């Protein structure tokens, strides 16, 4: 029995002289040949794209987003070759089922890990080098009647300027930097109902994801006090005190969405509660930031069908959007001589800078210019 098991194990990966040289341990099957061809074709395609990008400047807009596929696709093809090899050599149904289960588990793990890495890649790059790789974010179409041009704005995330120093140490032994992260919240205020004169003091702030209740207490006939009760603890803060005795100020409403009107037990005074959207701020390390909490840097390139960037075109400047800022609308100005100026519109906030594109001028090292812009940003940080 032992001798038979040893011979079976040795035959499992016995070289097949009839198979193609690449992965010669693989049985001679059509699927094996197809996988080997796909492997070679993918690697040739990746090399060609890189060579064309370096020589002509024509680069896929999602070049950096797809970069992890250079590792994932070959790894999955190699895994498939190994699985097929084992599946063809194992004769028992139980062995084949076991191989299929293990292969499915490894495949799911690889896809999950890769998708997580792709989602976290910008944040990991920001934490390590200060900025993320460029990714297509905004597509603009310019047409002045004389010529048309498609433009892609490439977004890079960057570390926010605002931070506080925490108590814990980072990997370098320095105090860890903590950056502001906003959480959606509700801001409550109150006034006398129907414009009744009163003095209103304070406000209540409650995180939107908390379980809460705004309670009312009348200490006396002329005083109303609102206060929150919320779970978890610390998810709400503040209070509102309304005083009707003495001089007061009449107000139609407190701004925001009307919630409810409350009247004291004697029916002499009423108060109205209002709610509007707001936020609270928590300071966290860079790995816990959301994308909205990061600064954004935009560079732009003319493109072919919004898919291929003309990266050798002369482009100057960048647009910076502060955390939680907005870059909408975006203006394009024709400067003449096929020169375009891109800058934030009046509705934008937290956005500054401009980008000038010289459509008929080229530079030799435009990719290095983009890297230089990132390096300058790191120096500022």
- How high is the pLDDT of residue 236? 92
Residues 150 and 156: their CA atoms lie apart, in Å, by 20
- How high is the pLDDT of residue 187? 95
- How high is the pLDDT of residue 11? 53
- How high is the pLDDT of residue 242? 92
Low-confidence ranges of the chain (pLDDT < 50): 1-4, 9, 12-13, 20-25, 366-381
- How high is the pLDDT of residue 377? 45
For residue 238, what are the β-bridge partners? 204
Q: Any alpha helices (H) in the chain, and if so which ranges?
A: 2-12, 30-56, 69-89, 93-129, 366-380
Residues 297 and 157: their CA atoms lie apart, in Å, by 6
Q: Note the pTM of the prediction, 2 decimals.
A: 0.74
- How high is the pLDDT of residue 248? 60
Residues 314 and 361: their CA atoms lie apart, in Å, by 6
Q: Please say whether the beta carbons of 336 and 146 come within 8 A.
A: no
Residues 151 and 71: their CA atoms lie apart, in Å, by 30
């Amino acid at each position: 029995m032992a001798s038979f098991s040893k011979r079976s194990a040795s035959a499992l990966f016995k070289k097949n002289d009839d198979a193609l040289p690449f992965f010669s341990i693989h049985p001679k099957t059509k699927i094996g040949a197809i996988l080997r061809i796909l492997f070679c074709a993918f690697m040739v395609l990746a090399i060609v794209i890189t060579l064309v990008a370096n020589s002509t400047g024509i680069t896929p807009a999602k070049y950096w987003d797809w970069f992890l596929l250079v590792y994932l696709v070959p790894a999955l093809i190699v895994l498939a070759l190994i699985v097929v090899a084992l599946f063809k050599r194992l004769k028992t149904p139980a062995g084949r089922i076991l191989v299929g289960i293990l292969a499915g588990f490894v495949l799911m793990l690889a896809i999950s890990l890769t998708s997580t890495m792709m989602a976290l890649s910008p944040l990991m790059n920001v934490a390590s080098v200060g900025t993320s790789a460029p990714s297509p974010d905004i597509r603009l179409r310019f047409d002045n009647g004389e010529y048309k041009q498609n433009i892609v704005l490439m977004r890079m995330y960057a570390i926010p300027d605002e931070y506080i120093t925490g108590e814990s140490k980072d990997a370098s032994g320095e105090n860890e930097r903590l950056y502001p992260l906003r959480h959606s919240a509700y801001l409550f205020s109150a006034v006398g109902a129907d414009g009744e004169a009163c003095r209103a003091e304070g406000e209540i702030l409650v995180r939107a994801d908390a379980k809460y209740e705004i309670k009312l207490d009348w200490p006396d006939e002329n005083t109303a006090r609102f206060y929150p009760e919320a779970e978890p603890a610390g998810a709400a803060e503040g209070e509102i005190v309304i005083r009707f005795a003495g001089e007061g100020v009449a107000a139609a409403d407190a701004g925001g969405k009307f919630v409810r009107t409350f009247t004291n037990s004697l029916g002499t005074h009423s108060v109205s509660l209002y709610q509007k959207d707001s936020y609270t701020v928590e300071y966290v390390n860079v790995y816990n930031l959301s994308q909205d909490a990061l600064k954004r840097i935009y560079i732009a390139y003319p493109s072919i069908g919004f898919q291929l960037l003309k990266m050798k075109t002369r482009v100057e400047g960048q647009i910076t959007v502060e955390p939680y800022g907005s870059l909408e609308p975006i203006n394009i100005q024709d400067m003449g001589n096929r020169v375009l100026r891109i800058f934030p519109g009046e509705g934008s906030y937290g956005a500054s800078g401009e980008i000038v594109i010289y459509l008929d001028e080229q530079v030799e090292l435009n990719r290095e210019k983009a890297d230089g812009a990132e390096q300058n940003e790191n120096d500022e940080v």
